[in-house]
Structure 1
Amino acid sequence: MTATRPIRPVTREALAEHLVERAAALPGRVRVAVDGPPPTGTAELAGAVAEGLRLRGRDAVVVRAGDFLRPASLRLEYGHHDEDMYLDGWLDVGALRREVLDPAGPGGTGRVLPRLWDAERDRAYREDYRELGPTGVVVVAGALLLGRGLPFEVVAHLHMGRAALARRTPEAERWTLPVYERYERERDPAAGADVLVMADHPERPAMRG
């Protein structure tokens, strides 16, 4: 638990390095979650973490949760703006475990699939599997990842307050705002995070953990 630790301002570079250090301190293969709504820039942070790990001699691959969505016929079954489905039914949790997290875990094969489904074209990617070495790291970036029972050794949650998230969310995606409020309220991702990042200003984050 990190609740009693102070929150301190950091740069994005220092935040990435902190996550690199936490992952690099663990033996064997490591699974890292970088969780947060789109305006927090989870993919960019995950990329910086992966690059830092490679500089330390650890094989690292970034996986975007958005590349593991279910086909449109399933995730949009109740319409394009169904909040319950967006919270629980868009991400293909089974595929993410089967193709990424289980192979990258203890006793796994190390054979991970970086991308599964092209949601824009609604078809499978023609992606080759990646072979992670015995100390390889998978960094999964995306939103609404926590509270699903997914296995991670290091969890970072980037929190953006209601007003900041509303300002930074494009009009076409504003229907998702109540979903992120529910996520914070119902899943309490901050409580399950090893590193909590206050990201109202993503270029000037503050960190606890």
Structure 2
Amino acid sequence: MSKNTVLALVGSLRADSHNRKLAEAIQLNAPENVDVQIHGSLGNIPFYNEDIDVEGQVPAEAAALRAAASEADTLLFVTPEHNGTLTASLKNAIDWLSRPYGAGALAGKPTAVVGTAFGQFGGVWAQDEARKAAGIAGAKVLEDVKLAVPGSMIRFAELHPKDDAEVVEQIKGIFEPLTAVQEDEAAA
């Protein structure tokens, strides 16, 4: 059986990001049949602009994102919540991955959204907005993959998510629906 490749895109640009740490915990707790790869910072990708999205002239960072997303079996967005919505960096990544419209790296790609945020609901608004944007961009949004960890600034002030037993249990629960979609497609 081949491994399912999950590309994690972290919406936070902060060096000590709780969402990057959550992505690391997801990577560490992946089952043997899943390879979670965390993409580099989304902060180096220029804002989407059709004027620079020209064949042979696409900025290297955007081209690398598209290539990594195309090669992955599944995308996993890991996002904090900024002013009640997803981060500009993650929205920008979705914009780059949505082009060319209908044939971009997001087209039909199984995509899930998780995250952690300071608020009491763990960033569910941002996650809902990311699911909405990804779906409109053509992704196959995995609505049953849910993980929203509240109180990140206090909860992870001195504790990495990989060392939080409750979070680790929740992480383990996201892999079944992530891998089920690949198994369903392989059987078809």
Per the normalisation by structure 2, the TM-score is: 0.37
Higher CA-based Rg: 1
**With CA pairs under 8 Å and 6+ residues apart, which has the higher RCO, 1 or 2?**
1
Q: Compare the two structures and name the one with the higher strand fraction.
A: 1
Per the normalisation by structure 1, the TM-score is: 0.35
